[in-house]
Amino acid sequence: MPRPFIILAGLAVVGLLLAGAFYIQWDAHMALEGRVMKVRTLNAVDEATIVVVDCRLTNTSGYTYIVGETKVELEDAKGNRTEGVQIAEMDADRLFEGYPALGQRFNPNLKARDKLAPHTTADRQFSVHFPFRAADVAARKHLIVTVRELDGLVSQIAEVR
């Protein structure tokens, strides 16, 4: 056999091995994608507003995504961020019962230790309390939902306004 043919065949074998390695690892990157579906607000008192954020989350990896912690931040018109105080699942149930103006509760809260199966999409809710008036919350740039995976991966989902 001619020498150039052997070199090309060797390069083809190496290329196939690299392509196989990339294919095997294709969905190994842990990622959580999503979007904010709906934001509801309730002016509880003059200086406090309750915000309920409904999100659609997608685990794009081939592994189970285990939630470590969550937070919701409000970015105001000046660019300052304020973290909301989370409302527990049981309190969120009572909140929807006591304030029909919030509408129907569609999804459970996403909380620590929740699991999202590989290649699945789930709708979840974030219930938080901000120390702002309703007008200040309405004048926000956007809300930012941050979900940290148990091993430290951080995913952020920003509200599109």
Displacement of CA 100 from its chain's centroid (Å): 26
* pLDDT for res 81: 95
Reading the chain (161 residues) residue by residue, the pLDDT tens digits are 577 878 888 888 888 877 766 666 656 678 899 999 999 999 877 789 999 999 999 999 888 999 999 999 999 989 999 999 999 999 999 999 998 988 999 999 999 999 999 999 999 999 999 999 989 999 999 999 999 999 889 999 999 88
pTM, full prediction: 0.81
Closest CA to 44 of 99, 104, 103: 99
> Three-state DSSP class for 22?
helix
* pLDDT for res 23: 67
On the 0-12 / 13-18 / 19+ scale of CB atoms within 10 A, 98 is exposed
Please state, in angstroms and as integers, the Cα–Cα distance from residue 62 to each residue in 17, 26, 88, 95, 101, following that order: 21, 9, 30, 36, 40
Q: Which of the following CATH numbers is that of domain 32-158: 1.10.10, 2.60.40, 3.30.70, 2.160.20? A: 2.60.40
Domain boundaries, the chain: 1-26, 32-158
Strand runs labelled E in 46-119: 48-59, 65-75, 81-83, 85-86, 115-116
